[in-house]
Amino acid sequence: MNPLIEPLLIVGLVVITLSSLSSALSLLFEVRFWKNRRRGQQQPISGSGYPSVTVIMPVRGLDQDLRNNIASVLNQDYPGPRNYIFVLDDENDPAYNVITNLLSNRNVNAKVLINRGGRSKGEALAFGLGEATGDVVVLVDSDAQVHELWLKNLVEALMRGFGAATTYRFYLPLRRLSLGSVLRASFNMIGITAMQNPTARFTWGGSSAVWRWLIEKWSIRDYLPYYLSDDYVITHFVHREGLGIEFVPESLVLTLEDIGLREAFSWAVRQLWYVRVYGFKGFMLYAASYTLYAITLPMAAALSIINPYVSILGVLPYLLGMVKDYVRVSGIRGLNKYYRERITRRYAVLLALASVPNVYFSWLAIVKTTFTNSINWRGRVFTVNDAVRLMREKPLP
Ligand SMILES: Nc1nc2c(ncn2[C@@H]2O[C@H](COP(=O)(O)OP(=O)(O)OP(=O)(O)O)[C@@H](O)[C@H]2O)c(=O)[nH]1
Ligand SMILES: [Mg+2]
């Protein structure tokens, strides 16, 4: 026997065992998460009236389903007073007319602000916060589509004693299904994993509620323009206050968009770039776990030459990963009719299958991100140096 074979076999078996164990644990965790939700561990709401809310949406450019997104955010069944602030950088932005048109047909308390010369989402948010009057501030992105109880669910989590309430997004194709859109939807679900875990949880800027007193107390407005990730800033201050962040899957937002494979890859790299810049440890953890999954299959294939049973063991982590994603999407479908009607069972199966190519898609995106200096975000280019320089100008206390 070749002297190299024995150590190779040992390394291979260790890799396969580790990735099988880790996928089995993730699956177990996933099943328990949805089971607990179904049991309804929600505590009743204390206090009487619902707090007043200011919903802030920064907008730049025309999202693919912008009109429906904004209409859904305006069309809320919320028992308390609410008002809306849209922040654009320029009234020539094509989204300006879409928003003013929608508002002219509706009886809602809303204003459209122009942060002239604004250079980023963070600047737009800071500008909008300066005009917020509600006891609660809810931030929402222009690519989010929500159901009627979205706002109420988020605010109720604050009323139960949390400092912030967050949710996450789920991608759906708008007109046609493509490899790019399915891979992006699959990649995106890693964010749900983070939300399910209180240590990794963050206030996702795409849809989060925060008490305004907390924003004022820590002068969060002053920090936002210096960070490309509002998630990072707000999460930091909620923790500084010693309060918890609640994850509200019942208010998951849908993003209906079509995207090609190449664009989906650049999108994934941009998402990872933020993690690399603002949460390097998390990025390393992410890189390590995806590397483990990515090498499992070739390792099993190589070892199957020595022992064919190893190949059976080698596909186990991928099978468990598929089942986990199916359980997850089924859990989301089970939340309420809104999700069940829009997310088909066929799409759930497709996402489960996509979890396998997504291992390689994600891993390649991680490798690319490691060597990516600049990103293009809605037509604005930001480099690592820009981000670091800005962060140093206004470090978080
Ligand atoms: N006013 C203003 N809004 C912005 C700017 N950049 C982004 N936005 C808005 O900020 C929100 C988040 O932007 P997205 O491009 O969706 O960012 P993201 O959610 O990190 O990225 P995706 O995953 O691609 O959705 C959206 O509502 C955008 O319209 C900007 O420079 N100015
Ligand atoms: Mg977005």
- Nearest-CA residue for atom 11 of ligand 1: 141
Q: Is the pLDDT of residue 178 over 80?
A: yes
CA of 369 to the centre of ligand 2 (A): 19
CA of 19 to the centre of ligand 2 (A): 31
Q: What is the pLDDT of residues 83-113, one digit of tens each?
A: 999 999 999 999 999 999 999 989 999 999 9
What's the predicted TM-score (pTM) here?
A: 0.95
Binning pLDDT at 50, 70 and 90, where does residue 42 land?
low
Q: What is the pLDDT of residues 47-62, one digit of tens each?
A: 569 999 999 999 999 9
Atom of ligand 1 nearest to the CA of 88: 1
Contacts of 251 (CB under 8 A, 6+ apart): 146, 147, 149, 150, 151, 153, 154, 167, 207
- Nearest-CA residue for atom 29 of ligand 1: 59
Atom of ligand 1 nearest to the CA of 267: 24
What was the pLDDT predicted at 156?
A: 96
Higher pLDDT residue, 307 or 153?
153
What was the pLDDT predicted at 300?
A: 87
Binning pLDDT at 50, 70 and 90, where does residue 126 land?
very high
What was the pLDDT predicted at 37?
A: 85
Question: What is the percent of the chain where pLDDT is above 70?
Answer: 97
Binning pLDDT at 50, 70 and 90, where does residue 172 land?
very high
Ligand 1 pocket member 124 (CB < 6 A): yes
Residue 318 CB coordination number (10 Å):
19
- Nearest-CA residue for atom 18 of ligand 1: 206
Q: Is the pLDDT of residue 41 over 60?
A: no
* Structure tokens, 351: 């996402």
Binning pLDDT at 50, 70 and 90, where does residue 312 land?
confident
What was the pLDDT predicted at 310?
A: 79
Atom of ligand 1 nearest to the CA of 119: 31
Q: Can you tell me the distance from the alpha carbon of 155 to that of 160, in angstroms, rounded to the nearest whole number?
A: 9
Binning pLDDT at 50, 70 and 90, where does residue 46 land?
low
Ligand 1 pocket member 116 (CB < 6 A): no
Query: Which ligand is located closest to the Cα atom of residue 140?
Result: 1
Atom of ligand 1 nearest to the CA of 124: 1
Binning pLDDT at 50, 70 and 90, where does residue 302 land?
confident
- For domain 48-168+204-259, give the fold: Spore Coat Polysaccharide Biosynthesis Protein SpsA; Chain A (3.90.550)
Indicate the average pLDDT of the chain.
94
Contact between residue 145 and residue 341 where contact means Cβ atoms under 8 Å apart: no
Domain ranges of the chain: 5-37+262-393, 48-168+204-259
What was the pLDDT predicted at 47?
A: 59
Contacts of 167 (CB under 8 A, 6+ apart): 150, 154, 195, 204, 207, 208, 247, 248, 249, 250, 251, 252, 253
What was the pLDDT predicted at 308?
A: 81
